């Protein structure tokens, strides 16, 4: 039953038969059963950031930031669909065993559509990058794939964390993110708005922090005025976990748990992830909330449960255990890994020749690391294939693969009784005995991630700077000094300071956290069976000296739209093994659509995939960002020497700007439209040797 009004009527009728205590009990994330009404227990908390998470075996996709690097809507939608199908398989099989525990329901608290505004933020790899338009497009695709188009929702997606949330992790429980109306509506809200209004996302989760003084899980401005008012959100709202308790213990905007529960409920928070709603009955007794308000929240939640078909026979009831990690799902995950990898530098060493290499050195703490494959919020794979294993499996027995861990991920030594850097001499010996070195450095979820979930206690999951750990930098210098060609595989979920490798490595490849079996696909990329095709969804800066203070939420000086310096690697940048070019841009414009048509030509003999991008700059408006912004993109597959025409429809607000009041205004009459394989900036031109094709258009009046 996809009819929300019918589901709402059924929810109203069911809730009307509950006592006050029963209604209040259903607002907990771990809602208990009400046997007399035939209502089973239901746990609202499930995760599906890049595959069904935390409930055992499931297909493992690359981390979300890697999915963003693919610039592929269809791929992202397929990931959402597979996550939902495997979620149904788990739900069906778990319920059959009477297991209704956490992480086994059908309400997935994904995707994370916060803007990755600062590379120091530990949770940035959960996002789709720094651009509002790209984030909205990827987020919409994920939601549409997860919720499906059937008679019932396959699963319910959740847009999080609403809103203006991107660190610092150490301060999130008391932090007040102060933001202008322009930045709010231009940068921080568009993805949420798109998911609500265009993808009809079923749930929204509030953030831990305050925004302009109001706690996000109890904000009248965000929850009532914008979400349910301006955007007419019809689904349910959930707090981040234990965030409502922060109202009186950390934010100090209320004095008691009862007051905190009342503030959240009155502003529209329906599910409490945490325990503060255990105080709702006392809040009712004190006159802080009404039974009607409690009932309204319960009705919203049961509306979702009816839309999922949890009280009916559905088309998904026969999805079986055999769908978990089935061949088709594993193939989709491998395709996602292939599209996510970004080639940042190549002096000609790549692709490698499996036939001519007699020996390969694989070095580094992430070379044989399972943790570096999966990022955070992950499921369990029945098999892990590390980079080392992928290379070992790919080459013939005649090719010797030498391996050294090289150093610990961040500690001074691998063995506790050894001297400092106890693996570095082995690494040098590996390099000296190898024709080429694959150097696997980076981080994992213990160094960048969520406060409380990481081993990085000194920064609560954030990074203090953009440098790799010192032991890894020392390892890199020692290996590169051997004179052997070194290919850096950087396995991180965020932008790092890679200047040394840009200057000294033969090739630099950003592989993110590529999924549990990612090593197999990475080997195929290294040896040329697949051409890299990912593009950066974030700017790689030279260092934190290029950035404003982490706590500053103004967009000035941040992300490709507002950064005025020279990036190391720009947003939208990424190389292939081929040689593609974009030519002959033509624009067709009417009051409802603007389409830019270009010719894309692969001038090489290698089959490649490329991402064509269109950027728009308003030339007349003082409210336009200083740099052109992404307004369209398309992934294109080209055979050797193939040319193809590609139509790219610009986003509806391409010719609009946001003023200081946060209101959308026409951007003037003159615009610069640039189409290419990256941004129309000098650094992209310098790195690629290619220029965008540009059109300067003038409209008699903005329409």
Q: What is the DSSP string of 311-377?
A: TS--TTTT--GGGTT-HHHHHHHHHHHHHH-EEEEESS-PSP-TTT-SEEEEESTTTT-SHHHH-SS
Please tell me the distance from the alpha carbon of residue 342 to that of residue 565, in angstroms, as a whole number. 22
Quick one: 358 and 270 in the same domain?
A: no
Q: Is the pLDDT reported for residue 699 higher than 90?
A: no
Quick check: helix, strand or coil at residue 137?
A: helix
Please compute the mean of the pLDDT values over residues 144-161 and round it to a whole number: 97
Cβ distance 557 to 563 under 8 Å?
Answer: yes
Q: What is the per-residue pLDDT for 703?
A: 47
| Dihedrals phi, psi of 56, to nearest 5 degrees | 100, -155
Residue 565 counted as domain residue? no
Residue 584 belongs to a domain: yes
Average pLDDT on 515-522 reads 98
Q: Verify that 489 and 590 share a domain, yes or no.
A: no
Last residue of a domain, one of 488, 505, 538: 538
Residue 486 sits in the same domain as residue 398: yes
Q: CB–CB of 48/108 below 8 Å?
A: yes
399 & 295 share domain: no
Helix (H) or strand (E) holding 75: helix 73-96
Residue 72 lies in a domain: no
Looking at the structure, tell me whether residues 252 and 345 fall in a common domain. no
pLDDT at 507 over 60: yes
My answer on whether 532 and 624 are in the same domain is: no
Are residues 498 and 367 part of one domain? yes
Q: Is the pLDDT of residue 1 over 60?
A: no
Check whether residue 306 and residue 441 sit in a common domain.
Answer: no
**Does the pLDDT of residue 212 top 50, yes or no?**
yes
Q: Is residue 490 situated within a structural domain?
A: yes
648: domain CATH number is: 2.60.40.10
293 and 388, same structural domain? no
The Cα-based distances of 370 to 182, 353, 374, 457 in angstroms read: 42, 26, 7, 21
pLDDT tens digit string along 226-285? 999 999 999 999 999 999 999 999 999 999 999 999 999 999 999 999 999 999 999 999
- Domain assignment present for residue 92? The answer is yes
- For residue 163, the domain's CATH number is 3.20.20.300
Active-site annotation, residues: 240, 448
pLDDT band at 701 (very low <50, low <70, confident <90, very high): low
For residue 639 the two structure tokens come to: 């055979």
b or e along 153-189 (b: 16 or more beta carbons within 10 Å of the residue's beta carbon)?
bbbbbbbbbbbbbbbbbbbbbebbbebbebbbbbbbb
Q: Is the dihedral of CA 352, 354, 359, 364 positive or negative?
A: positive
> In the prediction, which pLDDT does 409 show?
98
Residue 265 lies in a domain: yes
Phi, psi of 439 (to 5 degrees): -105, 115
Number of domains comprising the chain = 3
CATH number where 496 lies: 3.40.50.1700
Alpha helices, DSSP H only, in 412-562?
Answer: 424-432, 470-480, 499-504, 518-526, 559-562
What is d(CA 695, CA 703) in angstroms, rounded to the nearest whole number? 18
List the structure tokens of 626: 């200083």
Query: 122 and 187 share a domain?
Result: yes
- The reply to whether 412 falls in a domain is yes
> Across all residues in the chain, what is the average pLDDT?
97
How many angstroms separate the CA atoms of 703 and 696, rounded?
Answer: 16
pLDDT cut 70: percent of the chain above it? 99
Quick one: 100 and 227 in the same domain? yes
681-702 average pLDDT score: 91
123 shares its domain with 186: yes
Q: What is the pLDDT of residues 568-607, one digit of tens each?
A: 999 999 999 999 999 999 999 888 899 999 999 999 999 9
The verdict on residue 624 lying in a domain is yes
> How sure is the predictor about 454, in pLDDT bands with cuts at 50, 70 and 90?
confident
Alpha-carbon torsion (216, 220, 221, 227), positive or negative: positive
* Average pLDDT score over residue span 174-184: 98
* Gyration radius from the chain CA atoms: 26
Q: Which of 481, 506, 538 is the last residue of a domain?
A: 538
Q: In terms of Cα–Cα distance, which of 137, 155, 265, 275 is closest to 203?
A: 155
In the chain, the percentage of residues whose pLDDT exceeds 90 is 97
Q: Which domain holds residue 403?
A: 341-538
Q: What is the pLDDT of residues 311-368, one digit of tens each?
A: 999 999 999 999 999 999 999 999 999 999 999 999 999 999 988 999 999 999 999 9
Who has greater pLDDT, 203 or 702? 203
Which tens digits make up the pLDDT trace of 56-109? Answer: 999 999 999 999 999 999 999 999 999 999 999 999 999 999 999 999 999 999
């Amino acid at each position: 039953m996809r009819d929300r009004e019918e589901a709402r009527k059924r929810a109203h009728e069911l809730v009307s038969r509950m006592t006050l205590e029963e209604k209040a009990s259903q607002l907990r994330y771990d809602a208990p059963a009400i046997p007399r009404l035939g209502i089973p227990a239901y746990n609202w908390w499930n995760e599906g950031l890049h595959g069904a998470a935390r409930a055992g075996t499931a297909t493992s996709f690359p981390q979300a930031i890697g999915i963003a690097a693919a610039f592929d809507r269809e791929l992202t939608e397929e990931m959402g669909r597979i996550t939902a199908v495997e979620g149904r398989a788990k739900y069906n099989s778990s319920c059959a065993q009477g297991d209704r525990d956490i992480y086994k329901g059908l309400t997935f608290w994904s995707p994370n559509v916060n803007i990755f505004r600062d590379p120091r933020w530990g949770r940035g790899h959960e996002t789709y990058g720094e651009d509002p338009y790209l984030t909205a497009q990827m987020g919409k695709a994920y939601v549409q794939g997860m919720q499906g188009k059937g008679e019932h929702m396959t699963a319910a997606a959740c847009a999080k964390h609403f809103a203006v949330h991107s660190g610092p992790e150490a301060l999130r429980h008391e932090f007040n993110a102060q933001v202008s109306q322009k930045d709010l509506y231009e940068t921080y809200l568009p993805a949420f708005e798109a998911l609500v209004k265009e993808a009809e996302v079923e749930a929204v989760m509030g953030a831990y922090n305050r925004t302009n003084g109001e706690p996000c899980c109890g904000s009248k401005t965000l929850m009532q005025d914008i979400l349910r008012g301006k955007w007419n959100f019809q689904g349910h709202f959930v707090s981040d976990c234990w965030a409502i308790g922060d109202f009186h213990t950390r934010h100090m905007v209320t004095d008691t748990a009862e007051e905190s529960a009342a503030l959240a409920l009155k502003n529209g928070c329906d599910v409490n992830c945490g325990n503060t709603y255990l105080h709702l009955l006392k809040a009712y007794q004190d006159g802080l909330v009404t039974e009607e308000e409690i009932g309204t929240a319960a009705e919203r939640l049961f509306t979702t449960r009816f839309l999922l078909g949890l009280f009916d026979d559905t088309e998904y009831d026969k999805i079986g255990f055999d769908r978990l990690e089935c061949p088709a799902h594993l193939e989709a995950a491998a395709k996602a890994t292939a599209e996510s990898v970004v080639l940042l530098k190549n002096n000609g060493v790549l692709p490698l020749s499996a036939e001519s290499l007699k020996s390969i050195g694989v070095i580094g703490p992430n070379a044989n690391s399972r943790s570096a494959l999966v990022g955070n919020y992950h499921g369990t794979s029945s098999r892990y294939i590390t980079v080392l294993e992928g290379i070992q499996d790919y080459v013939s027995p005649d090719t010797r693969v030498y391996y050294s861990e090289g150093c610990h991920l961040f500690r001074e030594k691998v063995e506790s009784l050894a001297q400092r850097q106890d693996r570095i001499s082995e690494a040098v010996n590996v390099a000296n005995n190898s024709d080429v070195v694959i150097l696997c450095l980076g981080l994992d979820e213990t160094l960048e991630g969520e406060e409380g979930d990481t081993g990085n206690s000194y920064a609560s999951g954030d990074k203090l700077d953009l440098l790799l750990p010192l032991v890894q930098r020392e390892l890199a210098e020692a290996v590169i000094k051997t004179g052997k060609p070194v290919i850096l595989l950087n396995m991180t979920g965020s932008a790092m300071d890679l200047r040394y490798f840009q200057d000294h490595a033969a090739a630099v490849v950003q592989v993110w956290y590529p999924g549990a079996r990612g090593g197999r696909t990475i080997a195929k990329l290294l040896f040329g069976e697949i051409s890299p095709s990912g593009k950066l969804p974030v700017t790689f800066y030279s260092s934190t000296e290029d950035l404003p203070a982490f706590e500053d939420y103004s967009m000035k000086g941040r992300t490709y739209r507002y950064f005025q310096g020279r990036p190391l690697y720009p947003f939208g940048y990424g190389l292939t093994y081929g040689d593609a070019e974009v030519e002959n841009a033509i624009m067709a414009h009417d009051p409802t659509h603007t389409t830019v048509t270009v010719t894309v030509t692969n001038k090489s003999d290698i089959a490649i995939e490329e991402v064509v991008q269109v950027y728009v700059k308003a030339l007349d408006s003082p409210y336009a960002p200083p740099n052109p912004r992404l307004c369209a993109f398309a992934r294109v597959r080209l055979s050797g020497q193939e040319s193809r025409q590609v139509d790219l429809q610009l986003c509806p607000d391409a010719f609009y700007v946001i003023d200081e009041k946060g209101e959308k205004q026409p951007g003037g009459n003159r615009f610069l439209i640039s189409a290419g394989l990256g941004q129309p900036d000098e650094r992209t031109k310098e790195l690629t040797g290619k220029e965008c094709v540009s059109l300067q258009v003038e409209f008699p009046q903005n329409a």
